């Protein structure tokens, strides 16, 4: 696992080239006196097959960073590179195609389209792209996630954990370049949350999937290979092969600093 140093920014990402990278990303909201600097020049890369957790106190800009990396939000300056393209230079249509074909999402809640069954939800991005799912891959994911019995149920008929597993299956099925997970366990009880995190880790280890996860839970972060810490819109530290206790310590120091 090749890590990248925290700020001060590193100019050159180490090889192999990262799947996703932020270069000098600045994001400000509002104007004049009311201006909020959410990101103040972030440089970071995420290597293929890595599982990275982004952490930081509330208001540190971790969610904003993820939204910018995923092409959901625009940046004020800087660029976001994904698979060789600069997301900040794409128009809405190309950006939409990017999200559809090369990015997977798992949100904290409200992950699924309520009018579609679990199966339809899982197949959704592929169908949008007009691609046919590979049957063995679909079967494998469904079986690994234990969703076989629930495929024809609507989201309202699934438990929170099941809904989150459906979202994972959807993200994994299209083999995106990167999956962004925004507090994927935030709404789950600890046992179910653990299941989902195991699943994400396994998909990285066994399937070579790249995952970037935003979380505020040190236990969740400990499932990642690498933890990046943000404060006040800047990357301030990172840990490789984190433990929950180590992360917690670091967070406490960040908050008290």
Partner 1 sequence: MIRIVLSRLGAQRGRLLLTVVAVVLGVGFISGTFALGDLMRAGFAREFAASADKVDVAVLPKGDGERLPAGMLEKIRALPGVTDARGLVRAEAPLLGRDGRTHGHVPTQGFSLPTDGPLRRYTVLEGRVPAAPDEAVLNESLAEDTGFRPGESIQVLDAKERRHTFRLVGVVDVGIDAELTSRGGVGFLAETAVRMTGQKDYVEIDVAGSVTPAQVGAAIGGTGHEVVTGEELSSRLSSEAGADITMITTGLLAFGLISLLVAGLVIANTFTILVAQRAKELALLRCLGATRRQVFGAVVVEAALVGLVGSLVGLAVGLALAAGGAAAVNALGMDVPVEVSLSLRTVAIALSVGLVMTVLSALPPGFRATKVAPLAALRTEPEPGERAFRLGRARWALAAPSAVGGLALTVIGMRMEPGETAMFTVAGGGALTFLAVVALMPLLVRAFGLPTGGRLGRRLGLPGRLAVQNVRRSPRRTAATTVALTVGVGLMSLFAVVGASSKATADQKMFEQFPIDYRLHTGVTGRTIPRGVADGLRERDDLFSAVTSIRSVDAEFGANERMVASMTQGSLGIVAKPEMKHGSLEDLRPGTVMISEGYALRDGLAMGDAVPLKTEHGTVRVTVSVVYAGEAGMLPDILLPEADFTRYFGQVEDLDVYVNLQKGVPVSEANDVIDTAVADHPRVQVSTGAAMKAEFAKAIDMLIGIFAGLLGLAIIIALFGIVNTLTLSVVERTRESALLRALGVSRRQLRGMLSAEAVIMSLLGAVTGVLLGTVFGWAATRSLFTSFVFALPYGQILLYLALAVVAGLLAAVLPARRAAHAPIVESLSAD
Using the minimum distance from each CB to partner 1, give the nearer residue, 34 or 257.
34
- Closest distance between partner 1 and the C-beta of residue 199, in Å? 19
* Residue 73 lies near partner 1 (rule: CB under 8 A): yes
Using the minimum distance from each CB to partner 1, give the nearer residue, 18 or 155.
155
* Residue 29 lies near partner 1 (rule: CB under 8 A): no
* Residue 30 lies near partner 1 (rule: CB under 8 A): no
Contact partners, residue 125, CB within 8 Å, separation at least 6: 100, 101, 104, 170, 173, 174
The size of the interface with partner 1 (CB under 8 A), counted in residues, is 29
* Residue 61 lies near partner 1 (rule: CB under 8 A): no
Strand-pairing partners, residue 51, are: 211
> Rounded to whole angstroms, how far apart are CA atoms 63 and 69?
10
Residue 84 CB-half CA count within 13 A: 0
Whether omega before 16 lies within 30 degrees of 0, making that bond cis, reads: yes
- Closest distance between partner 1 and the C-beta of residue 43, in Å? 22
Using the minimum distance from each CB to partner 1, give the nearer residue, 5 or 113.
113
Residue 214 CB: number of other CB atoms within 10 A?
26
> Rounded to whole angstroms, how far apart are CA atoms 190 and 208?
26
195 touches 163 (CB < 8 A): no
Per DSSP bridges, beta strands 85-86 and 103-106 are unpaired
- Closest distance between partner 1 and the C-beta of residue 140, in Å? 22
* Residue 256 lies near partner 1 (rule: CB under 8 A): no
23 touches 82 (CB < 8 A): no
Site string for partner 1, 107-146 (x = CB under 8 A): x--xxxxxxx-------xx-xxx-----------------
Stretch that binds partner 1, among 4-12, 30-38, 67-75, 202-210 (CB under 8 A): 67-75
- Among positions 152-171, residues that touch partner 1 (CB under 8 A) are 154-156, 170
Using the minimum distance from each CB to partner 1, give the nearer residue, 77 or 115.
115
Which residue, among 251, 146, 152, 235, has the nearest Cα to 192 in the 3D structure? 146
Q: Which spans in 130-242 are helix H?
A: 135-144, 160-173, 190-207, 218-221
Using the minimum distance from each CB to partner 1, give the nearer residue, 47 or 122.
122
* Residue 36 lies near partner 1 (rule: CB under 8 A): no
Residues in contact with partner 1 by CB under 8 A are: 67, 70, 72-73, 92-93, 96-97, 99-101, 105, 107, 110-116, 124-125, 127-129, 154-156, 170
């Amino acid at each position: 696992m090749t890590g990248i140093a925290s700020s001060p920014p590193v100019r050159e990402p180490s090889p192999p080239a990262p799947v996703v990278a932020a270069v000098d990303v600045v994001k400000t909201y509002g104007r004049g006196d009311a201006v909020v600097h959410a990101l103040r020049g972030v440089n970071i890369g995420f290597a293929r097959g890595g599982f990275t957790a982004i952490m930081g106190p509330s208001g540190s800009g971790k969610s904003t960073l993820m939204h910018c990396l995923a092409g959901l939000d625009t940046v004020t300056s800087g660029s976001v590179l994904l698979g060789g393209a600069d997301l900040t230079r794409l128009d809405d249509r190309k950006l939409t195609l990017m999200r559809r074909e090369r990015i997977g999402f798992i949100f904290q809640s409200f992950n699924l389209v309520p009018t579609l069954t679990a199966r339809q939800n899982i197949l959704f991005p592929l169908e949008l792209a007009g691609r046919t799912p590979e049957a063995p891959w679909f079967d494998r994911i469904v079986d690994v996630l234990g969703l076989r019995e629930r495929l024809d149920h609507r989201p309202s008929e699934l438990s929170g954990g099941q809904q989150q597993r459906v979202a994972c299956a959807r993200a994994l099925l299209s083999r995106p370049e990167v999956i962004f997970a925004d507090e994927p366990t935030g709404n789950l009880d600890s046992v179910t949350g653990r299941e989902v995190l195991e699943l994400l880790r396994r998909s990285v280890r066994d399937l070579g999937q790249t995952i970037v996860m935003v979380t505020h839970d040190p236990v969740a972060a400990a499932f990642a290979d690498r933890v990046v810490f943000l404060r006040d819109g800047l990357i301030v530290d990172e840990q490789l092969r984190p433990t929950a206790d180590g992360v917690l310590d670091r967070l406490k120091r960040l908050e008290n600093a």
